[in-house]
Amino acid sequence: MAESIPTVTAIADVEFGGELPAFTPDTSIDATRRFGQHVGWNTPRFTDHDGARKEGLPGAIVPGVMSQGFLGAMIHRWAPTAEIITIDTVFRAPVLVDQPHKITGVVTDIDEDELTVEIDLTVTNEAGETRVFGTATARLPS
What CA–CA distance (Å, rounded) separates 16 from 19? 9
At closest approach, how far in Å is the CB of 53 from other proteins? 18
Q: Which of 8/136 has CB closer to other proteins?
A: 136
Sheet with 116-125, side-by-side order of all strands: 83-91, 130-139, 116-125, 101-111
Please report, as ranges, the residues that interact with other proteins according to CB under 8 A: 16-17, 88, 90, 92-93, 106, 108-109, 118, 120-122, 127-130, 133-135
**How buried is residue 129: exposed, middle or buried, by Cβ count under 10 Å (0-12/13-18/19+)?**
exposed
At closest approach, how far in Å is the CB of 17 from other proteins? 5
Q: Which of 79/123 has CB closer to other proteins?
A: 123
At closest approach, how far in Å is the CB of 36 from other proteins? 26
Q: Which of 30/129 has CB closer to other proteins?
A: 129
Q: Do residues 53 and 71 touch, judged by C-beta distance below 8 A? A: no
CA dihedral 40, 45, 48, 53 (to 10 degrees): 160
Q: Which of 18/141 has CB closer to other proteins?
A: 18
Identity of residue 139: R
At closest approach, how far in Å is the CB of 125 from other proteins? 9
